Structure 1
Amino acid sequence: MPTLHFNEHASPAMAELDDGTKVYRTCSAGIGCHNLGCGLKVFVKDGKLVKVEGDEENPISKGRLCVRCLTAKEYYYHKDRILHPMKRAREDRGKDAWERISWDEALDTIIDRYRETVDAYGIGAVSVWCGTGREASQIHFQMANDVFGTVNAVHPNSGWSCIVPRMAAMLWTMGSSYIEADNSIGFPDRYDDPRWVCPNYMLVWGRDPLRSNPDGLFGHSIVEMMKLGMKLIVADPRVNWLATRAEVHLQLRPGTDGALALGLLNVVIEEDLYDHGFVDAWCYGFEQLAERVKEYPVDKVAAITEVDAEDIRAAARCIAQSPSTLSMGLAVDQNPNTLQIGHALLSLFAITGSMDVPGGCFMGIPPIFAGMAENAPTEEGEGEPEGLALYGNIGVEPLGHDRYPAMSAIVNTTHPDATLDVLETNVPYKIRFAYVFGHNAISCMVPQPKRWLEAMRKIDFVAVADLFMTPTIMGVADIVLPAATFFEKEGYVSNNNASQPGQMGAIIPVLEPRGECRADLEIMLELHRRLYPNSAKPGWASPADFIDSQLGKMRDVDASYEDLCEHVIGQYEIEYKKYEKGLLRADGTPGFNTPTGRIELYSTVLQNLGDDPLPYYIEPKFSAVSRPDLAAEYPLTVTTGGRRFTSFHSENRQIETLREIHPWPTVQIHPDTAADYGISEGSWVYVENHLGKVKMRAHLTPIVKGGVVNCDHGWWLPEADPENLYDVFQVNVNQLIPHEENGPLGFGTHYKSMPCKIYRADES
């Protein structure tokens, strides 16, 4: 098993310059990112933040930083940061009528309202909400289960359209907790390590890694591997920077990913480009898969996807050259066809012999080996988290799992769409208490945000912890707690929550908290102490103790938080071909962590969950093919979710330098499409469909496929009237996305393939 190791020759975590400036080495865990852990050097003089630079000793980021980290001083000192706990009356929700209070009053109020709720209505009336990014999401389940004793952990992203569908496909077909492109992240010498092999090709699917640095994959590592000879195949309706350097760019019709993936499989199998030895030894159901892909001949797929048939053939022939690797992104999740897309793409790299080999697709160790399931209840009820045991929630499923039982097999949160249904109908019961942190639902993630706003306002009591006032806080909160930046707290970041070996970094407090700000972890521990004063939970005495307890649950980590802080960065050695060494199965035998012990091209898990065990294509429900009636009025297709360098979802909208770079919510339009509608560069336009409309600035660019418009997501205007919720409903594109239009097992939705029309705002 891989172990954590440190560079004993690295610079100290803190050095002092001749003028008294202290330079701290630490890792980023926010100002808008997804736990990548970029290395920082933070310059502090006389207790004041001077500047932030990249830490060239970080083996992943190597001194590179995005503009969000480079403007961190503006973030830390911003005049609009929430610095003190505040409250307002429930009837004043939506009004800027806040009153400063003490931490004691805030925490006592939360605890009193929680106990009143449980005593009067039961634990089902309690919910805990969390978003993504920063390291707050690492403690979502502990906050819900161990502190508030509820299974109603809420992540309101329709169809759980963020990494979870991909992970479901990985677990249910490959038996791995996470599969990512092999970019040598576990080797201290990175690309110079003789055990690593440069991939021949990387297939980048529905992802813009240079902007998003997604799920632990540092985007610039792709550029580094290109310099070493790796070539690209890119599947995306837009022409991003990587697509301009690709051997083949598959510019598909939005939402048709499943058909394209099956078309690639068709070519590999029909042209006998697959690895017979690996298939015979390690794959289950190849014959059935071969029959299925016969239904997707290349010419048929070309007609569906609007991708040239020869490009599909060329791409498949490139990918078949093992070792090649796959980087599939959020666009796979944001599609009701999500599980089938993931299944098809992973099968493509499995049958070509590129799974868990140097330069191929690296397989994360299954969760049970990562020690992340230690709280799973046994038949005797042992191991149940404290809060759940206290409140009799053993065996209770989160909301919506009766409707979508497959959800229980992958994630212990409420089903997002079912959560809104419960809030609106109070069936099977009314949610009366909500604790929200790391999350701005009304500006981001939720489709039909007006419905969510009104539904959340029905909750009797809502407490929110955040760094800035947001539309969500202004719209629904009764208590606000001031959260700390990563400069002000203890923590750690790990690639993909340590499911894939790589880098682990220390978040080291380098500045005193501004005002009365506290870390989310510190707030959680204090709430627990107050709720259970006679219960000393092991590892919960302090943030450092909690981090130690978490590190101790990870694969053979014998280091403490103190050790991590001393060295700043730890790395795991990469282990290849784990399936040959008995490292993927609980019994220690060779094979994969699936019911058959093989990669399941024919998934017995999906079959048992009531779905087709083979990948298949679903035409987008609202496309012109499916709904010609809608297409008559809304002839264009809107996609959303693409990343910008200046923001992470709804964060960073108030940072002056970042707003100078990208000042307004923007819709990208092909110049020919814009000409058809009389739209010029910089025009304010409306993008509208049968569900709503949004106002944005037009940017004319040939990178967008004709007939497609691409809208920024996560927008609100912090400079606007707070009592108009910062104009969020003028600029939030999620008003055009439907509620509960998920795939067969409850995953994915139509963030990428909705009909629309577009017209100048001055014509309305």
Structure 2
Amino acid sequence: MSVEYDRIVKTTTWSPGPGCHGGCGAKLYVKGDKVVKVEGDECHPWNQGRGCSRLLAMTQFMYHKDRILYPLKRVGPRGDGRFERITWDEAYDTIEKKFNEIKQDYGANAVIFIQGTGRDIGGPMSIVAYNYGSANWSQLGLGGQACYGPRLGAMSAVQGDNAIADCSQFLEKRYDDPRYKIPKYIMIWAQDPTRGCPDGFYGNWIIDCVKRGSKLIVIDPRQNFLTSRAEHHVQLRPGTDGAVAMGMLNLIITHKWYDKEFVENWCSGFEELSDRVKEWTPEKVEAVTWVPKEILYEATKAYATSSPGCAIQWGLPIDQAPDGVHVAQAINDIWAITGNLDVPGGQVIARNGYHVSAYPFDNYQLADMFGDDFVEQVVQKRIGSEEYGWLRKWRCYIQPDVAVQQMLTQRPYPIRATWIQTANPVANAADQKLHYEALKAMDFNVVVDLFHNPTTMSVADIILPAATFAERTGFRSWFEPVQVIQPAVQVGECKNDWDIACEMAARFNPDFRRRFPNGFADYMNWRLEPAGETYQSLIDKGGWKWAEDPGELESKVPWLPYYRYKTGALRADGKPGFRTPSGKVELFSTQNADWGSTGATIVDPLPHYQEPAESELATPEVFKKYPLVMITGRRSPVFFHSEHRNIPWLRECDPWPDVEIHPSVARDLKVEEGEWVWVENDRGRIRRKVKINAGIHPKTVSCMHGWWLPETDGRSPNLFGAFDVGVNNLIPIGLQARTGYGGNGYKTTLVRLVKMGGSETGTPCNPPVGVWGK
């Protein structure tokens, strides 16, 4: 070992730090009590030594001068930015006392537990919320709960299981396993996976497959690295993914490009689906989506006639389409009727190894931990459950569009406090100012974070400092393999999100402490029991464990591919088929029909297309005033959502909140690269720096989300410029679909650009020299 380091700690990343959904292996080089370098672990099966820029900048993240290292209590009015250091005991005692007072006065549901995304937080958040007794666990500010939920719900409704593109990630020998076949085509729909690793998927696996022979079809309004290497680029109007999917289904069925044997034996509702998609001719699709009919035909033919053995990798814009669930349902139907489900190189059904999960995911697991009576209370009291049957029957989140209104109106019951962890809603929520007002109206707000940001500065009463992945224990069970996170150092008094949650859970519910006297350590070993492992035994094995694999093509192991529907491995009764009521892939979803009928809205059992709420077709009068479709959410490889704007190496790579525009738009506006413009609509206006991109459609502009300016004043009213540059100031709330999932205007809001002039000329958010490395 080099004398430059005392030791190397191998671990698994899962934020905080890189910010992403994690899974990569990392090597932490430690000198004394400090991490001095971070690299990818070449032995790790997930990333095989590769590391993103955020991982490589971990030392700047961990030891940043502005990192919050101790618990803080607000002194003075909210927004003044004045906090004093307190002990952990004082912080815990204050939170316990205040939350118990609120419970006594208003009931436990008067506290909303708010999480963002990325950080390993679903488990900790649910543990503290449910042991406190609140049904209200939320991704507040995420309009339509439009982040993976609509796709997961659609897959549950159609085939009973999650499925992802097969890049050999469920096989220990990966590409060398003789059962595996490289996808003939990978259709990348509404995602650029190389710029960020999505849920349970490492983006560069796409490149691995392309190097081995996979061809690409890319469906995206923008040109990018992958479109330049694609055989077909389907450049659609933002928000019209559903029409493209319906048109593809029309072509597949009309030309009999579907897998007849699979459809006849393993699908139900094919006739109803065929009738539904008849109207979606290539000509109609072209009129709605901007996609030339010839391109639609050739792309569909390439995928369908090369099947089985073709995969689809999809992204967040599917969820954020006007009715994300039904868009996802249509895409699910595409891979199903072409015979690409749970076959080598296709769409592999994805389950966690040994059924290990970080926290109770469904009502049965909740009942095991908290009892049947509590589950019934959660189902009945969850915000939005009265309006949406899906919220009673499926995932545990409340409906965020309904929740923010309840915070403001205090009806049908009061909301008086929040617990905010891994979230920055003042900078990131749709309709930022609405959420700012809602959070200001609360009696008490707890924030768990690593740095001050617009949310901590504006509404926090107590701030708890979180640890990075390099400072904490943990485990990760997201498909394969089961693996652990182990700490290398301690920084300040920062604590693991899990440890914070387990301590508060034990304070709120003595039964939790009796069941898990050693807190998270006991809880973690309990969750690892199905794998026959403990935290320490996994460390002794090298940090991870693959599922035991009999090596058969038709698998009888629930969490290993392939063809499990033939062997009975997918169903609790052991019979062949899928985990649906009928045992078949339900193209006509009985789940949607049943769940929709129990709520105030009716959910269509078949896929359909819904036009965006604002568009040249739906609102021509608005389009005349605001003639550009604004796409938000474009990923930067150096940021994760609203994180990392203060990290020098990363900010240098992507220094400004920009707006991408086509050269023709720049000419019409008489602006050049680097000039500042207003982006505006009836909801407000924000400042952005022009970035000219010939690869974007002339009728669209693209603004990255999550921007705030940590180099500026964090006190009210500036709040690090969150309302000056944040694109979500222009995004509406309340456009959720009939399921309560999907929708909102993240990709379809109409705007116009206005050149800045006069006293507004200049760079309104120049960081001081030296702030981020210049």
Normalised to the residue count of structure 1, the TM-score between the two structures is: 0.93
Q: Larger deviation: 392-401 or 474-483?
A: 392-401
1:21 to partner: Cα distance = 2.1
1:42 to partner: Cα distance = 0.9
Q: Which residue among 478, 488, 508 is the counterpart of 1:510?
A: 488
Q: State how far apart, in whole Å, the 2-side matches of 1:166 and 1:644 are.
A: 23
Given the alignment of the two structures, is residue 403 of structure 1 paired with residue 387 of structure 2, yes or no? yes
1:368 to partner: Cα distance = 12
Residue aligning to 1:41 = 27
Q: State how far apart, in whole Å, the 2-side matches of 1:632 and 1:390 are.
A: 52
Residue aligning to 2:225 = 241
* Corresponding letter in the other structure for 2:575: T
1:391 to partner: Cα distance = 12
Given the alignment of the two structures, is residue 214 of structure 1 paired with residue 198 of structure 2, yes or no? yes
1:493 to partner: Cα distance = 2.5
CA contact (8 A) 1:56 1:63 kept: yes
Number of residue pairs the alignment of both structures matches: 734
Given the alignment of the two structures, is residue 520 of structure 1 paired with residue 497 of structure 2, yes or no? yes
Residue aligning to 1:51 = 37
Q: State how far apart, in whole Å, the 2-side matches of 1:436 and 1:261 are.
A: 37
Residue aligning to 1:570 = 545
Given the alignment of the two structures, is residue 93 of structure 1 paired with residue 78 of structure 2, yes or no? yes
CA contact (8 A) 1:84 1:516 kept: yes
Residue aligning to 2:274 = 290
Q: State how far apart, in whole Å, the 2-side matches of 1:728 and 1:374 are.
A: 35
Q: 1:406-459 CA distances to partner (integer Å, 9 max, x unpaired)?
A: 222221121000001101100012211211111111111x21110101111111
CA contact (8 A) 1:36 1:494 kept: no
CA contact (8 A) 1:35 1:494 kept: no
CA contact (8 A) 2:34 2:489 kept: yes
Residue aligning to 1:339 = 325
Given the alignment of the two structures, is residue 186 of structure 1 paired with residue 170 of structure 2, yes or no? yes
Residue aligning to 2:738 = 744
Residues 540, 696 of structure 1: CA spacing in aligned structure 2 closer, same or farther, 3 A cutoff?
farther
Normalised to the residue count of structure 2, the TM-score between the two structures is: 0.92
Residue aligning to 1:300 = 284
1:613 to partner: Cα distance = 1.5
Residues 282, 270 of structure 1: CA spacing in aligned structure 2 closer, same or farther, 3 A cutoff?
same
Given the alignment of the two structures, is residue 753 of structure 1 paired with residue 738 of structure 2, yes or no? no
CA contact (8 A) 2:673 2:692 kept: yes
* Corresponding letter in the other structure for 1:601: L
Residue aligning to 1:670 = 662
Residues 394, 411 of structure 1: CA spacing in aligned structure 2 closer, same or farther, 3 A cutoff?
closer
Q: Which residue among 444, 462, 465 is the counterpart of 2:445?
A: 462
What's the secondary structure of 2:280's corresponding residue? coil
CA contact (8 A) 1:205 1:329 kept: yes
CA contact (8 A) 1:714 1:732 kept: yes
Residue aligning to 2:650 = 658
What's the secondary structure of 1:682's corresponding residue? coil
Q: Which residue among 56, 59, 70 is the counterpart of 1:70?
A: 56
1:49 to partner: Cα distance = 1.4
Residue aligning to 1:195 = 179
Alignment of 1:160-559 (within 5 A): 160-176=145-161, 178-320=162-304, 321-322=306-307, 323-365=309-351, 383=368, 385=370, 393=377, 395-444=379-428, 446-495=429-478, 501-512=479-490, 514-533=491-510, 536-539=513-516, 541-552=518-529, 556-559=530-533
1:709 to partner: Cα distance = 0.3
Residues 578, 34 of structure 1: CA spacing in aligned structure 2 closer, same or farther, 3 A cutoff?
farther
What's the secondary structure of 1:214's corresponding residue? coil
Residues 540, 646 of structure 1: CA spacing in aligned structure 2 closer, same or farther, 3 A cutoff?
farther
What is the percentage of aligned positions where both structures have the same residue? 38
* Corresponding letter in the other structure for 1:473: T
What's the secondary structure of 1:589's corresponding residue? coil
Q: Which residue among 657, 682, 694 is the counterpart of 2:686?
A: 694
CA contact (8 A) 1:255 1:335 kept: yes
Q: State how far apart, in whole Å, the 1-side matches of 2:302 and 2:634 are.
A: 27
1:738 to partner: Cα distance = 0.9
Q: Larger deviation: 366-375 or 502-511?
A: 366-375
Q: State how far apart, in whole Å, the 1-side matches of 2:756 and 2:151 are.
A: 38
CA contact (8 A) 1:506 1:565 kept: yes
CA contact (8 A) 2:135 2:379 kept: no
Q: State how far apart, in whole Å, the 2-side matches of 1:371 and 1:27 are.
A: 16
- Gaps (5+ residues) in structure 1? 1-15, 496-500
1:631 to partner: Cα distance = 1.0
Residues 19, 239 of structure 1: CA spacing in aligned structure 2 closer, same or farther, 3 A cutoff?
closer
Q: Which residue among 574, 590, 598 is the counterpart of 1:588?
A: 574
Q: State how far apart, in whole Å, the 2-side matches of 1:269 and 1:376 are.
A: 36
1:366 to partner: Cα distance = 9.2
Across the aligned residues of Structure 1 and Structure 2, the Cα RMSD in angstroms comes to: 2.1
Q: Which residue among 725, 731, 739 is the counterpart of 2:719?
A: 725
- Gaps (5+ residues) in structure 2? 550-559, 597-601, 761-774
Given the alignment of the two structures, is residue 129 of structure 1 paired with residue 129 of structure 2, yes or no? no
Given the alignment of the two structures, is residue 102 of structure 1 paired with residue 102 of structure 2, yes or no? no
1:264 to partner: Cα distance = 0.7
Q: Larger deviation: 639-648 or 565-574?
A: 565-574
CA contact (8 A) 2:124 2:502 kept: no
* Corresponding letter in the other structure for 1:134: R
Residue aligning to 1:13 = none
What's the secondary structure of 2:239's corresponding residue? coil
Q: State how far apart, in whole Å, the 2-side matches of 1:699 and 1:182 are.
A: 36
1:551 to partner: Cα distance = 2.1
CA contact (8 A) 1:539 1:548 kept: no
Residues 336, 551 of structure 1: CA spacing in aligned structure 2 closer, same or farther, 3 A cutoff?
farther
Q: State how far apart, in whole Å, the 2-side matches of 1:250 and 1:450 are.
A: 36
